Amino acid sequence: MSRDIISIVNKQSGRMSLKTSHGEAELLYKIKGKIMVIYHTFTPVEDRGYGAAAELAEEAFAFAKKKGLKVKPDCPYIVHFIREHAEYALELV
């Protein structure tokens, strides 16, 4: 099974999503002052392990940096992502 992530199709306030082979992956966040709280990620079961959540996490950190925000990870996947990608630790609250 090859990874078939199509593109980020939506970045409305509070939600980033990515069209995948089997639906849509999403990352939900709230902005509180100068803090971006990432509180939920979801990837369809069939698409897990192919990088959709990581791509959304990278997009969220880039968005936060562009807006001058620090990130508060309230989602277990984002905590895991930061452990695997220490370069994002500097962006945390």
Q: Whose CA is closest to 15, among 34, 43, 49, 40?
A: 40
Number of C-beta neighbours around residue 36 at 10 A: 22
30 within 8 A of 65, measured Cβ to Cβ? no
Is the confidence at residue 2, as pLDDT, over 60? no
> Could you say which architecture CATH assigns to the domain 7-91?
3-Layer(aba) Sandwich (3.40)
Is the confidence at residue 9, as pLDDT, over 70? no
Instruction: Give the domain ranges of the chain.
Output: 7-91
Full-model pTM: 0.86
How far is the first Cα of the chain from the last one, in angstroms, to the nearest whole number? 38
13 within 8 A of 51, measured Cβ to Cβ? no
pLDDT band per the 50, 70, 90 thresholds, residue 38: very high
Q: What is the pLDDT of residue 13?
A: 77
Highest mean pLDDT among 15-19, 57-61, 74-78: 74-78
